[in-house]
Amino acid sequence: MHIFKFMNKQNRLFSYSRIRRYLSTQVQVDERPLHVPVMVHEVIKYLKPQNKQTIIDMTFGAGGHTQSILDENYDVTIIALDRDQVSHERAIEMAESYPNKIIPLLGKFSELPDLLRSKKIYQNTIDGILFDFGCSSMQFDTANRGFSVSKDGPLDMRMDGDRFPDSFTARDILARGTEDDLGRIFKIYGEEKNYKKIARAIIESRYLFRNLNTTKELCELVDSICEDEVRFDMLNRPAHNATKIFQALRIFVNDELNEINQGMHIASQYLKIGGRLITIAFHSLEDTIVKRHITGHITGNVANALPLKYCDYSMVYQKEFAETFIHKCWHSLTKHVIVPSDGEVKDNPRSRSARLRAAVKIK
């Protein structure tokens, strides 16, 4: 079998035979990079790695950010977490190429404290934490995983379905959810304006025809509802009508927003004072949770779900008084979100919606 090889900046060759073997059972793998990391320059600028530090890459993916940090020749240890078995395999493989530099861990943000305990790594000991939320290109590009509107495959969408084979898939939700449930999922997690009509059509198709089984069937059904619409993405390119529905299902299937809440809380526990947090979000739901943690608008470790006008400020007249009960353990390093340069968006259109925030733990 042909062995896919990838050359990094230092002309080091990696053999991706193991990961390729896995992927080749599911997709036709070509010679493109597995995933192009976004805003690498900005990540390194704000993370400011120093020798002897320990950094957690909470979303290892294809290892693009981890590799960029190590290729800058920092003598750091990177704990490489991912919930996806394919990414974990890649982390193990990359760890062989960077001896004693990478500690691969398989699990979700919410499982991290147990994983760290098993490695005798405790709270307040980490120098930097990076989150690059969402899906990797490896997940999107693998038809069998059901993440993509443009690739026909089973409606799965689980990031860790092989670890939790009994967990529900996107197909299960579409087959079992009530019209109300589906409408709420599409409205809240997809911000889809036609949420009612699409939920209705799914229920009707269930009773009149059969359950939706594939990404193509779901796309066709959504297209039939939004027949007269032409949608565009942030680069003004035509976007598929079902993109938001796919986003909503993926977030729900993987419990992504709860995971981000827990991840942010865990970051505040495990970073040292002075430790740096970098987040890259791809839609407003992710970014709002991050922003509320950084600004201290959280209740019981969970970002307030309500618009802030309904939260503490509206209950009192004085902003100073309200601020005495805001739980703030971060100092933000970025006044506003940082977005990718035009050049980066041109080279890597998937970076177009990336929003980076950076903060330092202060208490």
Ligand X SMILES: C[S@@+](CC[C@H](N)C(=O)[O-])C[C@H]1O[C@@H](n2cnc3c(N)ncnc32)[C@H](O)[C@@H]1O
Task: Kindly list the residues in this chain that would bind ligand X in the complex (CB under 6 A).
Answer: 35, 37, 59, 61-65, 81-84, 87, 108-109, 132, 134-136, 159, 259
DSSP codes, 285-299:
HHHHHHHHHHTT-EE
Given the complex with ligand X, which of 54 and 194 has the nearer CB atom?
Answer: 54
Given the complex with ligand X, which of 93 and 259 has the nearer CB atom?
Answer: 259
Question: Minimum distance from CB of 9 to ligand X (Å)?
Answer: 14
Instruction: Find residue 258's DSSP bridge partners.
Output: none
Given the complex with ligand X, which of 163 and 200 has the nearer CB atom?
Answer: 163
Given the complex with ligand X, which of 136 and 353 has the nearer CB atom?
Answer: 136
DSSP designation for 155: S
DSSP designation for 120: T
Question: Minimum distance from CB of 208 to ligand X (Å)?
Answer: 36
Question: Minimum distance from CB of 220 to ligand X (Å)?
Answer: 28
For residues 124, 127, 132, 136, the Cα torsion angle rounded to the nearest 10 degrees is -100
Question: Minimum distance from CB of 211 to ligand X (Å)?
Answer: 26
Q: From residue 343, how far is each of 38, 204, 283, 349, 351 by CA, in Å? A: 12, 46, 21, 10, 10
282's tokens: 């791809």
Question: Minimum distance from CB of 281 to ligand X (Å)?
Answer: 10
Question: Minimum distance from CB of 356 to ligand X (Å)?
Answer: 12
133's tokens: 């939320």
For residues 290 and 357, the answer to whether their CB atoms sit within 8 Å is yes
- Report which residue's Cβ sits closest to ligand X: 61
Question: Minimum distance from CB of 104 to ligand X (Å)?
Answer: 12
Measured CA to CA, the distance from residue 53 to residue 74 in angstroms comes to 9
Q: Is the dihedral of CA 116, 119, 121, 123 positive or negative?
A: positive
Question: Minimum distance from CB of 275 to ligand X (Å)?
Answer: 19
Given the complex with ligand X, which of 132 and 217 has the nearer CB atom?
Answer: 132
CA 11 to chain centroid: 29
Q: Locate all alpha helices (DSSP H) within the chain, ordered by sequence.
A: 17-24, 40-47, 64-71, 85-97, 112-118, 137-140, 170-176, 179-190, 195-208, 215-225, 243-253, 256-270, 284-294, 312-315, 319-324, 342-347
The residue behind tokens 């739980």 is 327
Question: Minimum distance from CB of 311 to ligand X (Å)?
Answer: 26
Given the complex with ligand X, which of 29 and 226 has the nearer CB atom?
Answer: 29
For residues 192 and 245, the answer to whether their CB atoms sit within 8 Å is yes
Given the complex with ligand X, which of 84 and 217 has the nearer CB atom?
Answer: 84
Given the complex with ligand X, which of 145 and 241 has the nearer CB atom?
Answer: 145
Given the complex with ligand X, which of 43 and 294 has the nearer CB atom?
Answer: 43
HSE-CB of 299 using CA atoms within 13 angstroms = 6
